[in-house]
Amino acid sequence: MSAKFSNKKSVTIHAPVSDVWRALTDPQLIKQYFFGVEPLGDWREGNAILYKGKWQGKKFESKAKVLQLEEQKLLKYSYWSNMSGLPDVPENYHIITYYLEKEDDHTVLTMTEENLDNEEMMERSSKLWDMVFQNLQQLLEKEIYSTSHR
């Protein structure tokens, strides 16, 4: 068995922790910054979440299971997508963890993704997370700007 790969990304978002947390768990917000993906399910420990969406013109379904949840601090889940081309077995699930930290008037969001099969998958995933975080940052900072400058 070869060693698995992982990604770690951090982004500073000029928004309160509560807003960032809501964006990570609210299906309507997730759809806005995560390429139109629709999560179905309830974000509670032990619960299953089903994701439906389209990526580059192809329909996909992904599955997740909430492993650990600490309101506004930590969200950890296992994740598998039929887009991976890998069988739906436990060893092919990625483990994604979000950590939220308040710093002054902003939030530092750190994401780790573990159990990636190879370097190519890690690099593809890294680029994807860069886009997701950029979209998330734009969404939340735009909302903050529009609500605080009325």
Whole-angstrom Cα distance, residue 109 to residue 19? 12
**Which are the contacts of 14, defined by CB distance < 8 A and separation ≥ 6?**
105, 106, 140, 141, 144
**Domain boundaries, given as residue ranges, for the chain:** 5-148
8 sits in which H/E element: strand 5-13
Q: What is the pLDDT of residue 55?
A: 76
| Contact between 52 and 34 (Cβ < 8 Å) | no
**pLDDT tens per residue across span 68-112:** 999 999 999 999 998 888 899 999 999 999 999 999 999 999 999
Whole-angstrom Cα distance, residue 38 to residue 122? 23
**pLDDT tens per residue across span 18-77:** 999 999 999 999 999 998 899 999 999 999 999 998 877 888 899 999 999 999 999 999
pLDDT at 131 over 50: yes
Task: Give me the residues paired with residue 53 across strands.
Answer: 60
129 sits in which H/E element: helix 119-148
Instruction: Note the pTM of the prediction, 2 decimals.
Output: 0.90
Whole-angstrom Cα distance, residue 73 to residue 52? 26
The larger pLDDT score, comparing residue 114 to residue 145, is at 114
Beta strands in 41-125 (DSSP E): 48-55, 58-70, 74-81, 94-103, 106-116
Q: What is the pLDDT of residue 1?
A: 47
Q: What is the pLDDT of residue 57?
A: 83
Q: What is the pLDDT of residue 65?
A: 97
| Contact between 60 and 53 (Cβ < 8 Å) | yes
Q: Which CATH superfamily is domain 5-148 in?
A: START domain (3.30.530.20)
Task: Give me the residues paired with residue 103 across strands.
Answer: 106
